[in-house]
Amino acid sequence: MSDQEQKSGERIAKVIARAGLASRREAEEWIAAGRVAVNGEVIRSAALNVTDRNLFTFDCEPLPERERTRLFLYHKPRGLITTHADPQGRPTIFAKLPRNLPRLISVGRLDFNTEGLLLLTNDGELARALELPATGWLRRYRVRAHGTITQDRLDALRAGITISGIHYGAIDAAIDRVQGANLWLTFAIREGKNREVRTVLAHLGLEVTRLIRVSFGPFQLTELEEGEVEEVRTRVLCEQLGEKLIAMAELDFSGAVVNRAEPDAQERREPSPRKGARGDLRVTSWGKKPAEKSTVEQRPKQKRRSKGAEHAWRAHDDDQPGRKLRRKFHGARADDSQPHPPGKVRAGSLTDRKGRSVAVERYGKPPVREAPRDAFAKRARVSEHQDQRKDESKNERFGKRPHKPSGRRRAPDRARGARPHRPRDKGKS
C-alpha cells in the first residue's frame, strides 16, 4: 500500500464500525488481538488507512458491505440506561430494541431516569456530527420541578451560566404552569452537556422530579408511544440534514438495506395494559411476521406447583383427620319421579334477558289463540269512524254545534236509576 493511499483512505477501525460489526473501540481491540487481516496479512495496529481497493477479512471471513445511513426515533422510557453494556447490570435500551434492526448507536445520551426522544443511527459519523454544538440543533425538554422561581431568573440564563467551573451556553427557559409546590418548565439547550438541565435547575434551587425530551432538532416526539421505534425516511433525512452536514460526515445514502432476522412472536407481543411496565417494548407495525420459527434458546417453562399438603390453605398430614369425610347424597335429578302435567310434550323456545333463544319442552294443552278478526268488519268500523268525523267537521263549518246531552253529568261510580225516596220526619224543622 502506497503512502498516498494511506493518506486518502479511512482508518481500518472506522471501516469496521461502518460495516455494522462493532464500535471503533471494539474494532481496535479486535485488531490488537490479530483477528483482522488486510490483503491477506494480519495487522496488529489500528493506525492504518485503507481504501475500497483493499480486501478485509475478520476471523477469515470478508467484511459485509457498508449499509445505507439510517436514523431512528426511539421513545426512551424511564429505568433504562443508554449504553450497550452496563457494569452494574442495569437494563439498557439496546437490549429492548427489536432484533431486525442493525447495530445502532445513540446520538447523545439520556439519563437513567430521563425519558423522551432519543435518536439512534447505524453511522457513527452522523452521530458525532449531530452531537457537536457547532451543528446548532436545539434540544427541547419538558421539566417538572419542585420549588419556586420567577421568570426573571430564568430569563437571565439566556446569557449563559458558570457552575463549578463549567460554563453552560445560552438556555431558553419558560414557566408553563404552576401546580401547588410543583411547576412545569420548557427548557431549550444547544450544547447538551452531561446532566445539564438537572445541574442548572439545582443551582437555581429547583429539584427535578421528571424530565422529558420532546424534540431534537427538526425531529419531534409527537405521538410516538413509550418504547416504540420509528425509522426516518431517507428523503426526509436528507432534507433535514442538508448538503453541508452530509458532506462533513461523509454519509452514504446509496447503499442497500441489509435484511436481518425478524423478532419472534414472543417479542412482538405488546405488553399488557394492566401491568404497564415502563421498560417493556412495543414493536411498531412495520415489522413483518417471521417466515421460520426462531432458533433462539428460550427459557424453559416452570412446572406448575400443585396445591399439596405444604400449601398454606391445606392442613399438614399430621393435622388432617384420619377418617375421610363423606358427603351426603340426596339423589340425582334423574331419580326425581314428579309427575308431568297431562298432555303431549311440545317443543318450544324462550328468549332470555340477553335476547338469546333457548329451546324448552312444554307440557299440557297448547294455549287457545283468538281467531283473527274479520277484515271486512274492521274496514266497516274504520269507514263509520271516518263518516262521523266528516259530520263533525261539517257542523263546525256551518255554525252547528254537536249535540251534547243536557243535564248534570253523572259520576262514573254513581248507581244508575232514580234516587230512592226517603220520607222526612215532620217533627224536625
| Residues classed as catalytic | 111
Q: Which of helix, strand or coil describes residue 36?
A: strand
Q: Say which amino acid occupies 29.
A: E
How far, in Å, CA of 111 to CA of 83, rounded? 10
Question: Are 153 and 174 spatial neighbours (Cβ–Cβ below 8 Å)?
Answer: no
Q: Which residues contact 345 (CB under 8 A, 6 or more apart)?
A: 361, 362, 363
Q: Which of helix, strand or coil describes residue 297?
A: coil
The candidate with the shortest Cα–Cα distance to 109, out of 25, 184, 211, is: 211
Q: Say which amino acid occupies 196.
A: E
How far, in Å, CA of 36 to CA of 45, rounded? 10
Q: Which of helix, strand or coil describes residue 213?
A: strand
Cell numbers standing for residue 256: 442497500
DSSP letter for each residue of 225-293? PTT-EEEPPHHHHHHHHHHHHHHHHT---SSPPPP-PPP-HHHHSPPPTTT--TT-----TTPPPPSS-
Residue 156 has what DSSP assignment?
Answer: G
The candidate with the shortest Cα–Cα distance to 142, out of 170, 107, 183, 108, is: 183
**How far, in whole angstroms, is CA 48 from its chain's centroid?**
48
Q: Say which amino acid occupies 4.
A: Q
Q: Which of helix, strand or coil describes residue 6?
A: helix
How far, in Å, CA of 47 to CA of 6, rounded? 10
Q: Which of helix, strand or coil describes residue 386?
A: helix
Question: Are 85 and 53 spatial neighbours (Cβ–Cβ below 8 Å)?
Answer: no
DSSP letter for each residue of 332-347? -GGG--PPPPSS--EE
